[in-house]
Every structure is written in structure tokens, then in C-alpha cells.
Structure 1
Amino acid sequence: MEFENITLPATTMTPTVIYPREATVLAAVCAIIFSIVGVLGNFITTVALLMHPKLRGHVTTKFVLSLCVSDLLFCAINLPLTSNRFIKEEWTFGPSLCQMFAFIFYGNVAVSLLSMVAITVNRYIVIAYYDIYSEIYTTTKIWIQLVLIWFVSFGLMIPPLLEVWGKLGLDRHTFSCTILPKDGRSPKKYLFVFGFALPCLVIIGSYSCIYWKVRESKRKLEGRSKLNGQTAKEKEEDSRLTTLMLTIFVCFLACFLPLMIMNVADDNVQYPWIHIIASILAWASSVINPLIYAATNRQYRAAYSNLLKFCKNNPVTKRTTWGSRTMGQSSNSPHYNEKRNPLKSDKPTKS
């Protein structure tokens, strides 16, 4: 999973494994554990959100589901192959699968980050531009954003996949499938800037704006029952959801930043143990999100609880009680405006 790119001297016929055996065993074990836990956690989260009527209708949930699907693919495809290559200390699945491995890995990282960008922008608009929120986030526009997230993320990997700019292949020195240079050219640095650094800056900037907007609103509207047209309870629900999404981004950054730093500062892998630990942290980013959902937000805990009850009891009887408890009327709810203004419930909705 490493991003490093090391070129062997032309006289070297057999690459020397640079990782200690203890490090590769640790990496293999962690990859297996993360694969099992990540597949179960992200699959359960996806099903729980889809089965919960109120969360399913939230705008933010659409982008959270995009994040879950991305993490699920990574845990189901990349991590099992990673565990095998660390156990055997070589890639044994052929060049075609090696290319697809790198394609899916880098594409998934981009999907995760762009999904977080979409979530952050959504949180900022609901707080700063609440009056036009429903006009911006119609069903059609949400789906356009989701399609663009996946299209752009994997579209960035088309040039190296087709060997137009760099290529996807095996770095025999580290037995990793990654982006390699072709004719002395590689898009890796540009992908790092536009696929990782730039989205991170957008997210950090958006959350900074959210912080100052909330601080300003509290100072100006202290003690009032409504903020920008929202009731106090609705504002509280949106604030909790924003805190949850900020926590997810901070954890993602904490997981991936060490690997980014090591691949820039130690491109020759002089500290293999640190590279292994940084890689393990990067893999953990696809596993921890369901734990964050359950630990920090009562709405998501309610979704997990309802799924558990559904599995234990008759599904027909449970359909009438999904989402009946612990759910405030957040501005993300698709029927939120109708419930606040029942006389306007017959007004046609945008699509």
C-alpha cells in the first residue's frame, strides 16, 4: 500500500527485501484483521443507514454511504491481497491484477477524500446559507455530485492505467503495486497535490469557516430560539452531525499523514519499520469510521440499534418503528420543511 517509488539499479537481478521479517508478519496480520473488521463494519453501516428512514433521507447520509462503499471495496479487495504479498514478501498474482490493485487503491483514497469534501461543503452551506440549502441540495444535484466524486477519483487514474502518463505496476524492491514512472515521467506528485493535499486544504478551510460562522451566530443571537430559520433543536442536531464529520476527517488525516510524510521524507526507505507502521495506520482509516459513528453520534447508534432489532424480530412489525426514537428533525430530513409548515405540505418538491 505504500506510495514509495524506488528504482532498482540495472545490474540488480534479484531485489533485496528491505523489510524485516517481523515487520512483514505484523503488516500481514493487521491487514487480515482490518479486512475482516472493515468489511463487517462498513457493510453493517451501509445496511443500517439504508434501512433507517430518517437517516436514509438525510443529504449528508448520501455522502457517508459513498465513503462506506469506498472503504468496503478497499477492505474486501486491497487488504486481502496486501496480506498475501506481505506473507510471501512478493507479488504472486500477475501484472494485470497488480495494475488493478493500484488503480482501486488510489481511486478509493480519492473517493474518500472527495466524499469528505462534499460532506464538509454540505455542513458549511446548512450553517452559513440555510435559506437556500433546499435549492442547492435537490435529489438530482446530489446524484450529480456523487457521480462526479467517483468519476473524477478513478478518472485521475486512467492516464497511468493506459500508460499515457506514468504506469501502474510492481515495484519489486518493496513488492508493492504502485504508480511507476514511464519515460522518466510520473503523475504521482501531481496526484498527491490535486488528489490529497488540495482536498485536505478545502476541508480544513471549510471547517474553519464553519467554526467562525457558528461562533459569530452564537454571539449575535445568544438566547434566541431560532438561528437562520432553524429551531434550537434542529440547530443542535446539525451541530452534532458537523462534529461527527469533523472527527472523521481528523482521524482520516491522522491515519494517512504519516504515510504521506514518510514517502516524501524517506523515499529510499531507510526506516522500514516506520514505513510499515505508517502503512498500517493508513489501512486503519477504512476500519475506524463505523466505530466513530457508533461512539459519537446518537442518530447513528439508533440506526445500528434498529438494525439489530430488525435482525432479531419480525421484519414486518419492525418497519413501523424504524427511526422512531432519538431522532431530532435535522435540516437534512427530506420532509423537514413539510413538518415545520404543514399547510405547505402539498407544495411540489424539486427533483
Structure 2
Amino acid sequence: MNRFGVDGSGSKANYGENLLTSEIINATSTMTTTTVSSITSILSTATSALLADNEIQNGDGETDELSSRFSRPLLTIAATATILIMIAGIFGNLLTIYALIRCPKVRNVAADFIISLCAADCLFCVLVLPFMAVRYIHGAWTHGEFLCTLVPFIQYGNVGVSLLCIAMITMNRYIMIAHNSIYQRVYKKVYVYTMIIFCWIFSYGFQLPTLFGVWGIFGYDDKLETCSILPDSQGRSSKTALFIIAFIIPCVIIIACYARIFWVVHESESRMRRHASSQPSLQNNNQRTMTGSTQIPGSMNNNLNETDVKSGNRLQATKSTRLKDQREAKQKRNEWRITKMVLAIFLSFLACYMPITIIKIADKDVQWPGLHIFGYIMIYLSACINNFIYFIMNKQYRQAYKTVLMCRTPKLLSFGHGASSNGDTPKHLANAIADSKEEPSDSC
């Protein structure tokens, strides 16, 4: 026993125990250090792989800068808006297509082009917007090189189809109002379908040189973190030509057609007002002639009777002319409603696509990411906003939607309020519609 009263054997035992504990602690520390080092090494390797993958996708090593360009709240808002627009666009466009096909009352040349327009918007919602939503959710393009080529090809093609369909509808309205005599010859069914096919072939055919890398390429834009048209190895890009041929020229045609339409409608209304103002004076003259004939006795009655007959014939002709004018006026009003609806569609198209055009020109270095996100959301909005325009501005379309949603049987021909020939109904049916008693109708 030592001087502390502890047995020596116990001291050796405690020493051995302490030594064992120390060795265990050292071993545990070594294992922990090794494990942490291994985990750190694995994470470092994974991070390096991810960075390398991003560099391959983005084309350079500015990953940190790109990841901080768009904030997470901004991307969340963009993803939410894209998903909502996608759902509304798919439902609205499919509903419009089905309603126009199912309800004969609204089927005309303009409706055929509107069906094509809805089909393009629906494809945009189905084939483009899901990838855009995932891009905003992940904060980067994660779908690979093939889809980075295919998705913008579909996107730009659908934009061209939409604008060309709007231009075709505008030209249809222009010929209907300004050159009605040639309308039936120009807008035969086979010609209408040929025009629609041309819109699709031209829009997508114009993208083929870029698709094959002959005139620019489809690829990942590292500044905008999206797939778009980029310059090829020789610095060539089809963006400028695409903007001029597929956007500026159709817009100029549409504006010119509407300027002419407004002029023709203004002149027509002026003539109708002048004609209407002349009718009461003619009717009053006839009435005075007939009244005066009863005040003259004797041998002049026979001559006056003949005059009365002629005056009555003129009055009957005047009434027939008035009825014809009323029919034409009603038909013109119905045509004018569709024309104004198409004008609203065109203006909404401009409102949706002009912001991103201006933003890309003014902010090439993406100093204001929020503006770019806003511009893209406006483009997506163009795929569903037309359906609201149809519903708000056209009673027949509202009735068609109501018929489809409430599973009613559509009428082959309605003589109710709002029926019109729209340039496609035979003349005697159009006259019957105009002469019929106006009754409310809830079915198309």
C-alpha cells in the first residue's frame, strides 16, 4: 500500500484501464477523423461532378454567378404561375376546340382558324410549359441536351402558328367586309384547310435550318438559364430573320387589314345613315299624295287611283328595301363582333410578346432578372388568355361553352338572338335568320 492508502495492484489496474480508455478514445478520434475526411472527400467529389456537369450544360464555369442570378422566391413565383397557366390553357383550349366542333351554329371559316390557334396554344401548354415549370423549380435546366433542342423548336414554331392564324383570321374578316363578292370563291373548304396547313408547315419549316445547326443552333443560354436560339460556330443566328419574317410582317399585314376594315365600316355606316334619313321624307310624300287624292272629285279619280297604286307600290318597295337594309345591318353587326374579337386577340398577343422583346433589347446582361421572368410569364399567358376573350366578347361562344359544359344537345340551326351567317350561311338562310323573331337561346 502506498502513502495514499491505495493498493499497488489497484493502481496498476487503474493505470491499465486508463490506458485502454485512452487508446479507445484515440482510436475513436482517429476513426471519426477518417470518416469525416472520407465524407468530405465524397462530398467534394460529388460537388466537383455536379459543377462539371453544370459547366457542360452551361458552356462555361460561371455556375455560382448563374445560380445567384434568379432568387428562389422569384423562381417559386414563376413556377407557380407557369403551372396555373398550363392547367388553364390545356382546359380552356380543349374546351374551345370541342365546343367549336360540336356546335354547328358557331362553325364558320373564322372558327376553323380559331381551332388551329387553340391547337397550337394547347400544344404549347402540353409540350413546353411542363419543362419550363420544372426549370423554375430546380433553378436550372435539368432535362438534357436533346430536350434543350426540341423544346425551343416547338416553342418558336407554336408562336409562328399562332400569329399566322391570327393574320389569316384578320384577312378573312377583311375580305368578308371589304370584298364580299369574292369571299365564297376564296374561302372554299379545301382552300381554308390549305391555308391552315401552310401556317403549320411554314412556322415549323422556318425552324429547320436552326434545328440542324445550319443557321444558328438551339442550345442553353447561360445568362437566362433557358434554352433558346444561339449563334452557331460562325456567329450566325436566325433570331433577327425570324423576328422580321414571322413577327413584324404578319403584324404589319394585320394592322393594314384592320385600318382598311375600319375605313370600310365607317363609310358603310355613313351611307346607311344617309339612306335612313331619306326614307321618312319619301314616306311622307307618299302619304300626302294618297291623302290628297281623296279630296279631288269627278273625272280625275281614275287617274288618281292609278297614282295611288303606283304610290302604294313605291311604299311597298320602300318597306322591302328597309327590311333588306335591316338584314344587312344585322349581318354586318354580327360580322363586326367577330372582327372586334379577333382584334382583341391580336392586341393581347402583342401585349404578351412585346414585354420580353423590349426587355431583351434593354437588358442584354440580365441585370434585372425579375423583368425577364415577367416577360416569360407574359409569353406563357398568351396560351390561355384567348379563351377568356372568346367567352367575354362573343355570345355564341358563351352559348357553345354552356352547351358543352351542361351536356346539352346542340341545335343545328338557331333562329334566336345572335345568330348570323358569318359569311358561310346561304343567303336565304341568312335572310330567314334576320327576319325571324328574336328569342333567347341558351343552346348553340
Note the alpha carbon deviations across 1:159-186, whole angstroms, 9 max, x for none: 0001011011112332211101102111
Residues 223 and 365 in structure 2, CA contact (< 8 A), matched pair in contact too = no
Q: Name the residue aligned to 1:210.
A: 261
Q: Structure 1 residues 269 and 180 mapped into 2: Cα distance closer, same or farther (>3 Å)?
A: same
Q: Structure 1 residues 125 and 230 mapped into 2: Cα distance closer, same or farther (>3 Å)?
A: farther
Aligned partners of 1:283 and 1:320: how far apart in 2? Answer: 35
Q: Which has the higher contact order (CA 8 A, sep 6+)?
A: 1
1:188-227 to 2 correspondences below 5 Å? 188-222=239-273, 223=275
Aligned partners of 1:23 and 1:189: how far apart in 2? Answer: 29
Match of 1:250 among 344, 347, 369: 347
**Alpha-carbon shift at residue 145 of structure 1 (Å):** 0.4
Q: Name the residue aligned to 2:97.
A: 46
1:26 and 2:77 are equivalent in the alignment? yes
Aligned partners of 2:93 and 2:388: how far apart in 1? Answer: 10
Aligned partners of 1:99 and 1:152: how far apart in 2? Answer: 19
**Alpha-carbon shift at residue 338 of structure 1 (Å):** 4.9
Q: Name the residue aligned to 2:331.
A: 234
Aligned partners of 2:325 and 2:242: how far apart in 1? Answer: 39
Residues 220 and 227 in structure 2, CA contact (< 8 A), matched pair in contact too = yes
Which secondary structure does the structure 2 equivalent of 1:221 belong to? Answer: helix
Residues 74 and 286 in structure 1, CA contact (< 8 A), matched pair in contact too = yes
**Alpha-carbon shift at residue 204 of structure 1 (Å):** 1.2
Please identify, of 116-125 and 221-230, the stretch whose mean Cα deviation from structure 2 is larger.
221-230
Q: Structure 1 residues 188 and 194 mapped into 2: Cα distance closer, same or farther (>3 Å)?
A: same
Aligned partners of 1:197 and 1:144: how far apart in 2? Answer: 23
**Alpha-carbon shift at residue 196 of structure 1 (Å):** 1.1
Task: Calculate the TM-score normalised by the size of structure 2.
Answer: 0.70
1:144 and 2:235 are equivalent in the alignment? no
Q: Name the residue aligned to 1:91.
A: 141
Aligned partners of 1:104 and 1:229: how far apart in 2? Answer: 47
**Alpha-carbon shift at residue 92 of structure 1 (Å):** 1.3
Give the helix-richer structure, 1 or 2: 2
Which secondary structure does the structure 2 equivalent of 1:244 belong to? Answer: helix
Q: Structure 1 residues 55 and 320 mapped into 2: Cα distance closer, same or farther (>3 Å)?
A: closer
Match of 2:132 among 67, 79, 82: 82
Which secondary structure does the structure 2 equivalent of 1:105 belong to? Answer: helix
**Alpha-carbon shift at residue 220 of structure 1 (Å):** 2.2
Residues 159 and 165 in structure 1, CA contact (< 8 A), matched pair in contact too = yes
Aligned partners of 1:184 and 1:96: how far apart in 2? Answer: 22
Residues 327 and 431 in structure 2, CA contact (< 8 A), matched pair in contact too = no
Residues 79 and 136 in structure 2, CA contact (< 8 A), matched pair in contact too = yes
Q: Name the residue aligned to 2:423.
A: 332
Aligned partners of 2:113 and 2:411: how far apart in 1? Answer: 26
**Alpha-carbon shift at residue 270 of structure 1 (Å):** 1.4
Q: Name the residue aligned to 1:36.
A: 87
Note the alpha carbon deviations across 1:269-321, whole angstroms, 9 max, x for none: 111111111111111111111111111110111111111232xx5xxxx2556
Q: Structure 1 residues 227 and 179 mapped into 2: Cα distance closer, same or farther (>3 Å)?
A: farther
1:306 and 2:357 are equivalent in the alignment? no
Q: Name the residue aligned to 1:346.
A: none
Counterpart of 2:426, as a letter, is: Y
Counterpart of 1:339, as a letter, is: L
Q: Structure 1 residues 338 and 204 mapped into 2: Cα distance closer, same or farther (>3 Å)?
A: same
Aligned partners of 1:290 and 1:323: how far apart in 2? Answer: 23
Which secondary structure does the structure 2 equivalent of 1:219 belong to? Answer: helix
Residues 124 and 206 in structure 1, CA contact (< 8 A), matched pair in contact too = yes
Count of equivalent residues: 327
Q: Structure 1 residues 302 and 172 mapped into 2: Cα distance closer, same or farther (>3 Å)?
A: same
Which secondary structure does the structure 1 equivalent of 2:199 belong to? Answer: helix
Match of 1:61 among 85, 92, 111: 111
1:263 and 2:395 are equivalent in the alignment? no
Structure 2, unmatched stretches of 5+, are 1-56, 277-321, 433-444
Match of 1:73 among 109, 123, 131: 123
Residues 105 and 411 in structure 2, CA contact (< 8 A), matched pair in contact too = no
Q: Name the residue aligned to 1:176.
A: 226
Q: Which has the larger radius of gyration?
A: 2
**Alpha-carbon shift at residue 234 of structure 1 (Å):** 1.0
Q: Structure 1 residues 339 and 92 mapped into 2: Cα distance closer, same or farther (>3 Å)?
A: same
Residues 104 and 411 in structure 2, CA contact (< 8 A), matched pair in contact too = no
Question: What is the Cα-based RMSD across aligned positions, in Å?
Answer: 2.3
Q: Structure 1 residues 169 and 320 mapped into 2: Cα distance closer, same or farther (>3 Å)?
A: same
Q: Name the residue aligned to 2:238.
A: 187
Structure 1, unmatched stretches of 5+, are 1-7, 343-351
Aligned partners of 1:248 and 1:261: how far apart in 2? Answer: 20
Residues 226 and 232 in structure 1, CA contact (< 8 A), matched pair in contact too = no
Match of 1:272 among 369, 376, 391: 369
